[in-house]
Every structure is written in structure tokens, then in C-alpha cells.
Amino acid sequence: MDELIRELKDQGVLKSPYVEAAFRAIDRKDFVLPEYADRAYENHPLPIGEGQTISQPYTVAFMLDLLDPQPGEKILDVGAGSGWQTALLAHVVSQEGEFKSQKSKVKSRGRVYAVERIPELCDFGRANIAKYNFLKSGVVKLFCADATKNLAKEAPFDKIIAAAASAGDIPDVWRKELKVGGRIVAPVNDALKLFVKKSEKEWAEKEFPGFAFVPLISARKPTRNKNSNRLKERWHRLSVFGLMALAVILGASYPAFRPVHLAAPTTIEVATGSGLRVIGQLLKNAGLIRSKWAFVIYTTVIGQASKLKPGIYKFEGEVSVPELTRELASGRLANERLVTIPEGWDLRDIGRYFEGVGAFKAEHWWEITGEPAADYRRRTPAIPQEFYKKFEFLRDNPRGASLEGFLFPDTYRVFRGAQPEEIASRMLENFERKIGSDLRAETRRQKKTLFEVVTMASLLEKEIPDPKERRLASGILWSRLYSGMPLQVDATLNYITGKHESPSGEDFKINSPYNTYRSRGLPSGPIANPGIDAIRAAVYPEKSDYSYYLSTPEGKTIFSRTLEEHNAAKAKFLKRRG
């Protein structure tokens, strides 16, 4: 669960300390079916029966961050399902506000009113929630009912959250039963929406596209209009068929629905006039999906079958049926490109990459970001001043010569024709999100600057392949730094020379502030753009009695306590350098 939480925080969610604490206290494994227990900590939805799923952890965290639940609040949870989200909310509302100041401690205990329409899931969720004693203590009250009906006895609510999508708009009864100042987080059509009740007649709304949910179904009273009855009956049949189909996908045929991990970027072209089955077969042939019919049925169920747009699409990394459906319906990727910047690339690598994919010349990139510092000979880089105004962390850079180290490695979707300024800004924004308050606070506590931490992280990123060993190496390097020993990091020499192999004898003689064999202390700046694991290792070094390490050509790190042990390891694992 800790690894899942770390992954979610790296993705920019779990911003609320209450929600993060709830994720740590409420184990998702307690809310999945036994056959999926070993996959409880995976970041995607899992089937729970009756054509429903326990939501993807990222989606739950994103929604709860928007909802911003607080201790003492009364919250309506629509579509309780497995009970996981209900239990997370119950943990928050039952707290005493320990994250607040002492003056604002909550005295009254909050409650969660959970509603589930499907009887079998209502029983399933009740059994799961009971594992945490929320029902017995009265923090949770679970209704097996229709959430679109009036819940006046329990209203008004401070906040409302729903896990099923409304068509067109949320039910009027939710608006009526929400307090002024309250929030509703609910999917509507193909997007997630945040509603804030500013007064009895005034609402603020914000939309977040890119989410897919099962439909919200209400048992409405029949009308006297026979044609209307026939239409409703037909819609009911279609809804039942849709849920049955979704149950097939997420249930017995779930392996066909699993995401696909692409070994290499994959490009497809959807021709104008292509039908759903043709597109499904195209995706299957390209290795983007496991089953043509899983795609066809899913796309039909959520009402996107007729909305898929022609164009050229490129996908990388992990792709899923919902993601493919969403992107083909939006048509965005037809005019976008995926840009993947690996951890450990420097400005030299990134500039050459953009030139290689035909985005723009490497020189245009370096005009905005600066070149690797070792390349500076004749000109001063013209880094846009708005970057320094917008991103406060750049002011830690005493050299100010480049953005090296602060362009966060990740996969980005950018419009074709995007300029270097736009892409660099996106990468800086990502860095700012990933370096959370905990890392900043710990850096200040240690009386270090973020620039020093990122510089150290760049050394660890280039030197130590195994993330688990980086904290140990971090302890060694910080210890050397404090004792006045030279760091003697080979990767700094390669940063100067641009080589990708072990440094030669002449490289060790280079007169440069980046030569950590000749110059004591940290190099003049980062030598690469590190990932979050390396940055965390730089902030949280592990103390040990080791004083030396070396990396073998196979990527293994050998740690030694004495110089004699270190020299013996070099003789054993490294070829003699000329």
C-alpha cells in the first residue's frame, strides 16, 4: 500500500493530508474479491461482481482531493459498491482535525451516508465496511436504495460524491439536499465535474475530462404516456444489456480488458469512415488491445461507438481499452505527439531527441533551456525571464546558466508544432508538482537548497542503476562532501566529454568545475534531469559504514568500507583505464 501511495503522490494526487492518512489506514485489499487479493494494490479498477468495479485508486484519490472531505462533516456517498470509498470518507470525517491548528479542532463526529442500488453489492459493501467498525460505531449509515430519491431525513449534506455517471446533469435532489458552500463531485456524461453551491441559486462548476464511469440508473415512476413508457422500457433493456456486457468484460473476460504494456511506441491510422469493428481489429492487429470484442462492447456500452475520430495516433507505455476509447473519441492524439524524456537525460540528450523526431532543431531547444554547462564557450543562454518569475525553485540556482536538472523526465502529450518554450514550461510545472511539500520541508530542515539536492540527485541517477541502492550511495556522497573529500564521480566526467563509456586517463585531467576528481564539493550544477526516486534518495540518504562504491559494466553497485576493499573491487570488476 505504501508503494501505491507513493505512486499516486508522484502522479499529483493525494494532496489532502486527510485523504492520504485515510489511504494509509484503510487497506484496499479488504474491499476486493478474494480472487483479486494479490492485485489489490495495482493502480486500476478491479471487478466486484454485478457488472461493477472497485474504482482505480488514482480516480478515487483525484475525486477525494476535489471533494476535500473534512473531520466532522456529513457526506453522501452515492454508489458505495465495495465500500472502499465509503470507508476512506468515514476515516476522514471521524477524525478530530489533527492536521488543523489547535484552535480549529473538530468536536462533533462526522457521518457518511452511503447509498448502493444493487442489493448484492449493498451486502458486499456492508461486510467490507464492517471490518473497520464504522457501521457499529454509527459513523457510516448504509442504504440499499436509489440515490436519486429524496433523502430529506439525513439532509442537508456538507458534501456529495458519486461513482456513477449522470446523463446531462446531476439529479436535482442532490442540489437541493446540499448545504450552501458545499461541494458535489460526480461524473456527468464523459467527464468528472465539481459543483460548488455558492447560494441557493448560484453554482460554480468545473469540468475534468478523461474519466469513464458506469451509468447512474434510477428506478423512475412510470408515466401515463404509453410512448414514453415504451421508450423507457426500451432504454431499460439497453441499460441492462449494457451492464451485462460490461459485466462480461470486467468479469469472466477480464483478462481481455487488462492494460497492454507496449514494448515500443505504436502508431496507427484510423481511416475516414472506419466502422467500430474495423477500428477494433486495427487496434488488435497493432497489439494495443487483447480483444477486439472487449473494445467493441465497452465502446458501445459507454455510448462512444459513433464518436471515434479518424487520424494518426501514437501510443506509448501502458494503454487500456478505456484510454484508447477516450483518445479516439476526443481526437486529441491525432493532433498531438507523445514526448518521452527518460530519467537521466541531460539537455544535450533532450535537444537531440527533439531534433530526431522532427519537432525542432536542437539549437532552438538550447536557446531556451541552455546547453549542458560543459558546452558553454562563446555565448550566454537566453533563458526566458518569465521562467524565473513563475518558478520560484529556479532562484536557488546560483549559476543560472541553464534549466539542467529541473526538466522533469516523464511522458508528455504536446500539440504538433509546440515550441520549446511551451514544452520546457510543461516540464518545469511537472517538476514543481512532483517535488511535494514533504521534500521541500525536509530539504529546508537539513539546511540545504533545492539546487544542491537536485545536483546530488543527478549524480545518483547517472551512477546508481538500482533505485534501492541510491540512498546508500547518497549517504556515502554526502559524507564525503561534509568531510572535504572529493566526490570522484565518473558520471561528471562523461557530462563534460559527452561520452557514454567509462572515462579514460586523459578525462581525469580535465580542468573543469564538473571534474569531481580535481574539484572538491558538488559540481557546479546538475549533470542530468533526475527522476523522483533519485531526488528522494538525495533528500533521505542512508547512513552506513561504507565509504566507497563502484558500478560494474553490468550495472551492479559494489560497496566497500575501506580504500583497500575498494581497490580490490576495482581490480576485480573493472577493466584498467588508460
Return the closest-CA partner of residue 38 out of 26, 48, 28, 52: 28
Tallying the residues shown for the chain, one arrives at 578
Within 8 A by CB and 6+ apart from 30, the residues are: 84, 128, 131, 132
The grid coordinates of residue 45 equal 479498477
Whole-number Å distance between alpha carbons of 166 and 218: 10
Contact (Cβ atoms closer than 8 angstroms) between residue 338 and residue 411: yes
Contact (Cβ atoms closer than 8 angstroms) between residue 69 and residue 93: yes
Within 8 A by CB and 6+ apart from 7, the residues are: 43
CA distance to 163, 271, 463, 500, 578, per residue, from 504 (Å)? 60, 54, 17, 11, 6
The grid coordinates of residue 138 equal 454509527
The residue type of 156 is P
Whole-number Å distance between alpha carbons of 174 and 178: 6
Whole-number Å distance between alpha carbons of 314 and 331: 12
- In the prediction, which pLDDT does 221 show? 40
Return the H-helix or E-strand segment holding 429: helix 420-434
The grid coordinates of residue 103 equal 484552535
- In the prediction, which pLDDT does 238 show? 43
156 preceded by cis ω (within 30°)?
Answer: yes
DSSP assignments along 71-133, one per residue: TT-EEEEE--TTSHHHHHHHHHHTS--TTS-GGG---SPPEEEEE-SSHHHHHHHHHHHGGGT
SS3 344: coil
Phi-psi region of 82 (alpha: psi -120 to 50; beta: other; left: phi over 0): alpha
Alpha helices in 464-574 (DSSP H): 467-483, 490-497, 532-539, 563-573
Whole-number Å distance between alpha carbons of 35 and 13: 28
**How would you write the pLDDT of the chain (578 residues) with one tens digit per residue?**
888 898 888 888 899 999 999 999 999 999 998 878 888 888 877 778 766 778 889 889 999 999 999 999 999 999 898 999 999 999 999 987 544 433 444 445 799 999 998 888 899 999 999 999 899 999 999 988 877 776 667 889 999 999 877 878 888 899 999 999 999 999 887 678 999 999 998 999 998 875 666 666 654 443 445 454 454 444 444 444 444 445 444 444 456 677 888 888 888 888 877 888 899 999 999 999 988 888 888 888 777 888 888 888 888 888 888 889 988 888 766 666 778 899 999 999 999 999 888 888 998 999 888 877 655 443 445 577 788 788 888 877 765 668 999 999 998 877 777 889 999 999 999 999 888 888 989 999 999 999 999 999 999 999 888 888 899 999 999 999 998 888 888 889 888 888 777 777 788 888 888 888 888 889 988 999 999 999 999 999 998 888 888 877 777 888 888 888 888 888 887 754 43
Whole-number Å distance between alpha carbons of 188 and 165: 5
According to DSSP, residue 578 is labeled -
SS3 content of the chain, % helix, strand, coil (to 5): 45, 15, 40
SS3 150: coil
β-bridge partners, 140: 112
- In the prediction, which pLDDT does 97 show? 54
Whole-number Å distance between alpha carbons of 94 and 296: 44
Q: Which entry of 55, 291, 474, 560 is annotated as an active-site residue?
A: 55
SS3 9: helix
The grid coordinates of residue 246 equal 460490461
Contact (Cβ atoms closer than 8 angstroms) between residue 132 and residue 90: yes
CA distance to 259, 267, 270, per residue, from 312 (Å)? 21, 7, 6
Return the H-helix or E-strand segment holding 269: strand 266-270
Contact (Cβ atoms closer than 8 angstroms) between residue 95 and residue 19: no
The residue type of 301 is V
φ/ψ of 22, rounded to 5, equals -65, -40
Contact (Cβ atoms closer than 8 angstroms) between residue 411 and residue 316: yes
Contact (Cβ atoms closer than 8 angstroms) between residue 197 and residue 181: yes
Within 8 A by CB and 6+ apart from 272, the residues are: 310
Looking up cell 458535489, which residue turns up? 184
Active site residue 502: no
Within 8 A by CB and 6+ apart from 538, the residues are: 453, 454, 456, 457, 460, 474, 530
Contact (Cβ atoms closer than 8 angstroms) between residue 201 and residue 177: no
Return the closest-CA partner of residue 381 out of 405, 402, 357: 402
The grid coordinates of residue 466 equal 538500482
Contact (Cβ atoms closer than 8 angstroms) between residue 110 and residue 139: yes
Characterize the bridge pairing of strands 46-49 and 557-560: unpaired
